[in-house]
Chains A and B, each alone.
Chain A
Amino acid sequence: MTQHKLSRPAWIRAALAEFEARLLRYATSITGNADLARDVVQDTFLRLCAADRAKVEGHLAPWLYTVCRNRALDVRKKEGRMNPLAEGQAEALADSAAGPGDVATQKETQRLVMSAMAGLPQDQREACRLKFQDNLSYREISQVMDVSLGTVSNLITRAMSHVRAELGARLDLAREV
């Protein structure tokens, strides 16, 4: 039997603190609705409460993402929503356009990156989110998205290729920053 350092409630609390916001964003990206995402994430953590800790520890992040994703996909199906832009994303895109001087350049680059990422096919976008926002490894992403490692590698490569092309010359600027 594994010795856990934290008590179970403390462990759950820690997981909640660490992953709540991340999972909510992820779930929102799938369900397209913050309220649904909250339900999904609540469900995810409730399941964590019922999970065999020994089997989850060491894989907590991919475990949570997998459960969250499956729940979110189900909710999306039930709600009949198809792949909408995440709530607030459009505004965020619009907001970030302006600003003085260097900040403006930076923001413009950022805006370009965001719009390039938003323009990615859904699977690439999801892989990128898990890679760049959630810092999951290819391996973990392949588990969460239920695709092969090769597919993950391919998705990320293509996505970065696309973003890189969209950025073009700006990359040189960015590199110097």
Chain B
Amino acid sequence: MTIKLNEETLTAYVLGELEADQVAAVKEALKANDTARCMVEELRATAKLMGEAGFAEPAIALSEEQREAIHARAEAPGNVVKPPIRRWRPWLAVAATLVVIAGGAMVLLPALSRTRGFVTKGPMWLAEKKMLPPEKQAQVDELVQTMREEGVRREPIQRFFIADVNNPDSNVVPEHIARIAYEQAGAEGVPTADKMKHPAVPSESPAQSSPVPLVETEGLTWKAAAGSPVSPSVSRRGRVSGTERARLGVATDLDLKEAPRQEVQPEAFGYDAGNQITIGQPMPVAAGKSAALEGRMDSVRRLPAPGPPHDDPYQVYWPGHNTESYDSIVENEFKAVTQEPLSTFSIDVDTASYANMRRFLNQGTLPPPDAVRIEELVNYFAYDYAPPRDLEKAPFASHVTVAGCPWTPEHRLVRIGLKGWEIPAGERPPTNLVFLVDVSGSMGPRNKLPLLKEAMKLLAQRLGESDRVAIVVYAGSSGLVLPSTSGDNRQAILGALDRLQSGGSTNGGEGIELAYNVAIANYIEGGVNRVILATDGDFNVGVTNRGDLTRMVEKKAKSGVFLTILGFGMGNVKDATLEELSNKGNGNYAYIDTLKEARKVLVEEMGANLVTIAKDVKIQVEFNPAEVRAYRLIGYENRMLAAEDFNDDTKDAGEIGAGHTVTALYEIVPAGVSFTPRGVDPLKYQQPKPALSETARTGELMTLKLRYKAPDGDKSKLLVFPVVDPGLGYAQAEPDFKFAASVASFGMILRHSKFAGRASFDSVLELAEEGRGEDVHGYRAEFIDLVKKAKRIAAAR
């Protein structure tokens, strides 16, 4: 075993973080390396000093009372939360939901006591709906009564209450429900039952509605309880999977290689019900006042249970704690045209993988290969394809360019480019959107801010030139992170979104003020002017008084700017506040728990006038065996369709929005070039030579077929384009082509693709420079910087 002696390795060595075989390898390597030995000495001394010096803090201790409390709890029997029970008992699920609402599981009560007045009505509702078992209901009623009579002191509720919802015999629950109910009533007057006109929570199938494990629960248990097929362990920040890469230095050179994984679509990794149990159906968008109330009650009933580990910072999952996982991507192989003449896939306009790659590189590490989806890197950039000329024919134009393949010169590279038509300004009302995004610390879990960002990206992709988007954030202080920007400057919008991070406390009031000011300043006569507030509603700094907030919003609404509120997360969503705000602000309020829901709310419903021009867009290419020996689709691994899916209108595929560009690349082995199909012996009884049709002799390289549906249609239309190779070398190709090739080859290098041929960081840079073009927004320049970074990181290993 050989090992690279760099500072990181040596540090790990000194600190005893290496495996035995690595230690041996380091020792061996040190013998021949004086400098490294010297560094080891220094590191040892430094470690010793750092261990001794520490941070020089005075020792402090718990108070006697605190210690007593702990000991008392330790002695108390029956406080261990039992594993979740599968059997569905409605009141338990309700209780679970309520406990969640009541401040994000029981441990959040401190928050609750500090923001009194924002306490949700969940427990009230439970008590009022008589959803508790009779004996508990009686207890609650009695307790509330007692509290009222005695005017119980408004001191914080016991800091922690460990509600064992799986144990109906636990007498903790009624007490706290009663307490919260009492507090709530004190703060807001006693709500009457007729406001709560919902019938009992419907029973759901057990899988959907397993009672919620509230305290420590294994991720695995969770998975089982939720019946989830997907791993719950995708972290918002964490990278290393505890189990997958159990030990530092599995890789010899300490580069901490990620195990084969693949970044999964947000939907797939479980913003969806897989990880997050939604009780009942996703909440419909509440439109208008009464619907908003309905919606609030709905969301009270349907708030997701505490989901995967990281949604609830208090959930500690052990051991397989906190991982970001990527399913492995099996790279598309070359296919012999004689065997598989058809290649079929769905378009993909996602770009998440690019941002992810950028994050890794900016952190000074190469992204794990399976986090790199080449088609998403390529599609991150807009290419200069001409829009369609005749809209009668198709809502998008397709462009195919063929030139030499830069990384394997004897191969050809085919670029398929689609360009959706731009709806001329004036044909739909322009939209002026100001996103007001809560970036306080509580928005960190990935079902909040990260989900919002994904949702906003979906929306941003629908915006056109005449639309305007601004982003205001608020936390401890508020600020404009994206001044009102034209909707066609998608990169600026997406860039601003990527930069959003959570941190700080929440000053909602100030943010609302600023957002309205931006919206008013960019007011579009006759257009849609809207502030979209995305928050978990936990306003805790500045104007937190609900009355003041609603008065402010009410006043602002007179300006003609509408308010949409998107509630996120479940821990401390302050439903009532949000609902009331949206009512006063001429708006609606929706609760977003999954990307699907976000798409529905932000794109399909609110963005009804933000245009999708075609849906279920599929591409099928038929290669001509007379010209092409083999082909390989670059990327799109998880967008592949079966050949017969192409004509099957029930099979979903990607959408294309106004002005969108979509790019796909094929690497082709021309007929005259040798190619050995992988892994299969020649057939004994068949000649692989196909009988060629007349058309095969026309010199056509391939035929591009596209199927799409009108946005409101359910029958697909077919477009067919024959493609001829004009025989360009890649040097003669247009700059955009070179740039796309550069991005693809960079992706292949990062993926350690066996097809990368001669591609190197230098060749990537060269192509990118040649293909840089005008680069108005500087995104190509950023790409070039990233390649340089990657090169440096790789060289440092």
Residues of A whose CB lies within 8 Å of any CB of B are 8-9, 11-13, 16, 20-21, 24-25, 28-29, 34, 37-39, 41-43, 45-47, 49-53, 55-56, 59, 62-63, 66-67, 70-71, 73-78, 80, 82, 86-89, 92-93, 96, 109-110, 113-114, 117-118, 125, 128-129, 131-133, 137-139, 142-143, 146-151, 153-154, 156-157, 160-161, 163-164, 167, 171, 174-175
Contact = CB atoms under 8 A, between A and B. Distances in A.
B17 A138 contact: yes
Contacts of A131: 15
Contacts of A93: 56
A174 B49 contact: yes
Given A148-B324, A151-B240, A157-B12, 9 more contacts: A12-B73, A45-B70, A49-B76, A66-B321, A131-B15, A146-B238, A146-B310, A153-B8, A163-B50
A92 B238 contact: no
A65 to B, nearest CB: 10
Contacts of A151: 239-240, 363
Given A74-B313, A89-B56, A137 B47 contact: no
Interface stretch (B58-66, B491-499, B634-642): B58-66
Interface string B765-776: 000000000000
Contacts of B310: 146
B324 to A, nearest CB: 8
Contacts of B45: 171, 174-175
A77 B503 CA distance: 8
Across the A-B interface, give the 3 residue pairs with the lowest CB-CB distance, nearest first: A148-B239, A92-B56, A12-B74
A134 to B, nearest CB: 10
A21 B61 contact: yes
Nearest to B75: A9
Interface stretch (B87-95, B107-115, B120-128): B107-115
B796 to A, nearest CB: 12
B238 A47 contact: no
B63 A38 contact: yes
B258 to A, nearest CB: 9
B644 interface: no
Nearest to A86: B57
B538 to A, nearest CB: 9
Contacts of B108: 74
Nearest to A96: B56
Nearest to B324: A148
Given A63-B318, A110-B53, A113-B53, A148 B238 contact: yes
Interface in B651-674: none
Interface stretch (B173-181, B242-250, B515-523, B678-686): B242-250
Interface string B19-60: 000000000000000000000011111111111111111111
Interface in B515-569: 540-541
A78 B74 contact: no
B314 interface: yes
A141 B713 CA distance: 54
Contact of A38 (B62, B160, B162): B62
Contact of A66 (B66, B107, B316): B316
B276 interface: no
A125 to B, nearest CB: 8
12 contacts: A25-B60, A28-B60, A38-B62, A41-B62, A50-B80, A51-B216, A52-B81, A74-B442, A114-B56, A133-B55, A139-B246, A164-B42
Given A12-B71, A55-B216, A113-B49, A63 B76 contact: no
A109 B52 CA distance: 11
Nearest to B76: A49
Instruction: Provide the main secondary structure of the chain B interface.
Output: loop
B626 to A, nearest CB: 50
Nearest to B63: A38
Contacts of A86: 55, 57
A49 B70 contact: yes
B699 interface: no
Interface string B468-481: 00000000100000
B57 A78 contact: no
A107 to B, nearest CB: 10
B439 to A, nearest CB: 12
Contacts of A59: 318-319
Contacts of A132: 47, 50-51, 54
B17, B114, B540: residue with the most chain A Cβ atoms closer than 10 Å: B17
A43 B248 contact: no
B416 interface: no
Contacts of B364: 154
Contacts of B440: 77
Contacts, number: 254
Nearest to A64: B316
B218 interface: yes
B74 A13 contact: yes
Contacts of B476: 80, 82
A146 B235 contact: yes
Nearest to A111: B53
Contacts of A164: 42-43, 46
Contacts of B715: none
A55 B318 contact: yes
B322 A146 contact: yes
Contact of B239 (A28, A117, A150): A150
Interface residues of B, number: 86
A66 B363 CA distance: 23
Contacts of A38: 60, 62-63, 66
Given A71-B314, A77-B504, A157-B8, A139 B70 contact: no
Given A63-B318, A143-B242, A160-B50, A150 B365 contact: yes
A154 B247 CA distance: 15
Contact of A16 (B50, B58, B67): B67
B248 A89 contact: no
Contacts of B246: 139
B248 A46 contact: no
Contacts of B363: 151, 154
A160 B248 contact: no
B237 interface: yes
B441 interface: yes
Contacts of A39: 110, 159
Contacts of A80: 476, 504-505, 540-541
Contacts of B41: 175
B79 interface: yes
A24 B53 contact: no
B248 A110 contact: no
Contacts of A74: 108, 110-111, 313, 441-442
A88 B73 CA distance: 31
B162 A73 contact: no
A147 B242 CA distance: 11
A59 B318 CA distance: 8
Nearest to A156: B11
B7 interface: yes
B781 interface: no
Contacts of A25: 55, 57, 59-60
Contact of B69 (A42, A96, A153, A154): A42
Given A93-B56, A143-B322, A146-B238, A73 B540 contact: no
B16 to A, nearest CB: 8
Contacts of A163: 46, 49-50
Given A16-B70, A71-B314, A146-B235, A153 B47 contact: no
B54 to A, nearest CB: 5
A160 B11 CA distance: 8
Contacts of B245: 149
A56 B80 CA distance: 12
Nearest to A42: B66
Given A24-B62, A41-B62, A139 B242 contact: yes
A104 B327 CA distance: 57
A118 to B, nearest CB: 7
A77 B505 contact: yes
A29 B57 contact: yes
A74 to B, nearest CB: 7
